[in-house]
Amino acid sequence: MKSGPKHHFPPDVPIWVDPERLSGAPCFKGTRVPVESLFTNLESGLSLDEYLDCFPDVSREQAIAILEYAQRTVLQAA
């Protein structure tokens, strides 16, 4: 069994981390879609709707919850 940093996210944040999958990259709960894909695609100019079309396993509610969590985290650090 691999050991590494444990990631704990608030229960309302739909992220799961499994060190045995995708090298432990944070993914949307219930999927193998890395959370990083949301930010990468939005940064490259895709709209949220286009992203969701490309990743049908991710719900709009999950994507919005991740974006809101990222916003709260950044603003708390400021």
Averaged pLDDT of the chain: 91
Question: What is the rounded distance in angstroms from the CA atom of residue 16 to the CA atom of residue 13?
Answer: 9
Total tally of structural domains belonging to the chain: 1
Question: What is the rounded distance in angstroms from the CA atom of residue 7 to the CA atom of residue 23?
Answer: 13
Place of tokens 């949220």: 48
pLDDT digits (tens, 9 = 90+) for 23-69: 999 999 999 999 999 999 999 999 999 999 999 999 999 999 999 99
**Over 80: is that where the pLDDT of 3 sits?**
no
Position 3 in a domain: no
Q: Give the CATH number, domain containing residue 51.
A: 1.10.10.10
Read off the pTM.
0.85
Position 2 in a domain: no
Position 1 in a domain: no
Supply the range of the domain harboring residue 48: 15-77
Q: Which residues contact 74 (CB under 8 A, 6 or more apart)?
A: none
Position 63 in a domain: yes
pLDDT digits (tens, 9 = 90+) for 59-69: 999 999 999 99
Strand partners, 63: none
